[in-house]
Chain A
Amino acid sequence: MTGGYDERCAADLAAVGEGRDLSRAERAWLARVVTGAVRPNRDRPLWDLAHALAALAQATAAHEGRDLVTLALDPGLATAQACAARFSGSEAADGRGLVLEGEPSWHTGWAGLARLLALAEFVLTAEDLGAFGTVTGWLDELVAAPDAAGAAFLAKRLARHLTAYRNAHLPLAREERRFRALLGFLGGRRAFSDADILAFWQAGMAAGERPGFRTVAEHFVTFEAGAHLVDGLDGLSSAASLDAHEGWEDRLDAALSDLAAAEPAATLAALLADWPEGPKILTGAEREDLSDFLRLEPFHRTRPLTALRAASFGRVQSGIANRLRRNGGGPDIAARAACTEAESYAALTERASELAAHLARMLRIAAALRLVERDGFSEKTRAALDAAEADLRRVRRAGFEDRAGLTAGFAAAETALLRVAEETARLERALATLARQHPLEQGFEADRAVFAAALSAAYAGEAAA
């Protein structure tokens, strides 16, 4: 998936997420606060954090900034339950969460506090601890006067700090330009089709920007996931002052849970990238193919035509871009741009079916390995497990000959295998439906003409060179 961040930012976030063992919803929240995808005011979480730290300084009678650092870095305070257990009953708590004396309008629940402490760890440790001493010094000042004024002052400092971080590590200008173009293209529409994605890509190619087809499709994935959120936050956007909005946290929570629901529990790309070592349930080539098919999640099940275009012509375009980067290697630009090497939709569909069948077979083998005691099962189930055993003996892959190692390997890969198999089956069904509506061969030939024309025109200069 493309852009808008650098490796430093990804590593800073990963350190906090792993260290606190955050759920995906919490990681999503933190990532959004860091990128600034929070409305009506992207600094509001820092305002909340500064007030929470002031309240904690009061509640724990903190002497120095480092007492707050100890709270912020404590993975034992990563959950709402842990925060409630530690702080409810203290003078800075009411029945629902933390309060700050002298700032009656401010409040956060225990789940909110747990998230804010993760944000505290991020601002302390960001840039690979580059500003740790500075931020600790700010906390020293807060602890000396942990009141509403001290909190407001810290909030301003933290906002400037995070703004500087975004400027250094989140190059969003290009993404913003793309989305502005996309919004202009759709002219206020929220619904879009496969044809819109292709037309928008063609427009970008014709304008000389040469966006990757996959990249464009990814922007549409975000647009689809984010459009309802933009609508939902519209009502919040009128007043943007930091302390405005009664019930802001609850409303934002509701909007965020919508987005978390739109985000898959574990991304397929990550599952395939981190596939456990062990028996060769999937070969490297199979994982690559699956990554290619599933990278535009959820389009592989909702927009199979775009998934096919990305897998076939998106790959051709990446090949051209790679050749230009490497300055040579493989077929020349003109030949590539003509898309003669593009894989046909029928061939891709067949490969998707083979992968789905392979994964289904692996799932049955996983069941056979796991269910050793079979007396209680029905005749039919036992027959299916026996068939899987027979299948297992036919598999010629590394690691499949040693039963104990195989059982352990399948157990380790079970979660990933289940999800990848399920999504591949959904891809297969979506492609079958597509094939019934539009003959794949004709569709492929028509698309090849479109992509070849766009690519040949856009890369004409390099092809002639």
Chain B
Amino acid sequence: MSDEARLLAELHAARALMRAPAPAPRIGHAALWAHATRAGGGPVDLAVVRALRTDPDTARRYRILLAAQSIAYAPLAAAALDGALLRRRVGPFALEILEGTPPLLILRGAEARPPRTIEAWLGDAAVRLDLPPPVEGAIVLALDPVVPEAVELGWMLRDPGSAVFLL
């Protein structure tokens, strides 16, 4: 066999890899994926939630998974002059906050499937909310001041440093 030396080298590397002690990540891919694709309001794995807050590497891996299954995402927004933000683009979607009581989050875009969930990240904090179905091409979500997640989402979206995932 002409490539016998090559096959032996490949076998040698495979055997060495079997012997190489390598650390596996504390939170595995499966657990992170389950968290990224969870249904809104469903149970969450507290170990995952804790790791996302305390371990930057787990949070980085999670955001990769989240981005890959998002319809659209934006890691950062172009900052407005005063630093506060009322309007930003997330992929093919325009996202706008209409100030008022309560403030309204408005999403417009022409994708085949409208997003069902929005998740925003700022630093090591994350918040996820389910979105209602679109009416006449726009999704409208009231950022109800008595719902802490809604308040936090509004606060994050106004910060250009926040990452936004539409799922």
Which residues does A use to contact B, with CB under 8 Å?
Answer: 1-5, 7, 9-11, 13-15, 17-19, 24, 27-28, 31-32, 34-37, 39, 42, 66, 69-70, 73-75, 121, 124-125, 128-129, 132-133, 136, 170, 172, 175-180, 182-183, 218-219, 221-223, 225-226, 229-230, 233-234, 237, 259, 263, 267, 269-270, 273-274
Contact = CB atoms under 8 A, between A and B. Distances in A.
Given A19-B24, A69-B33, A230 B16 contact: no
Contacts of B15: 1, 31, 221-222, 225, 263
Interface stretch (B4-12, B47-55, B81-89, B102-110): B4-12
A66 B141 CA distance: 26
Main secondary structure of the interface of A (DSSP, over half): helix
A274 B23 CA distance: 11
In this complex, the member of B1, B18, B23 whose beta carbon has the largest number of chain A beta carbons within 10 angstroms is B18
Contacts of A74: 30
Interface stretch (B65-73, B115-123, B132-140): B65-73
19 contacts: A1-B20, A2-B16, A3-B16, A4-B9, A4-B10, A5-B17, A14-B23, A15-B24, A15-B29, A19-B29, A28-B14, A32-B11, A69-B69, A75-B30, A124-B29, A129-B61, A136-B69, A182-B8, A263-B15
Contacts of A17: 24
Nearest to B65: A132
A27 B99 CA distance: 56
Interface residues of B, number: 34
B98 interface: no
- In order of increasing CB-CB distance, the 10 nearest A-B pairs are A4-B13, A18-B24, A37-B10, A175-B9, A10-B22, A14-B22, A19-B28, A180-B5, A176-B9, A179-B5
Given A129-B65, A237-B1, A263-B15, A11 B9 contact: no
B11 A222 contact: yes
Given A133-B68, A176-B9, A179-B8, A66 B23 contact: no
A129 B64 contact: yes
A128 B23 CA distance: 13
Contacts of B64: 129, 132-133
Contacts of A18: 24, 28
Given A180-B5, A222-B12, A230-B1, A9 B17 contact: yes
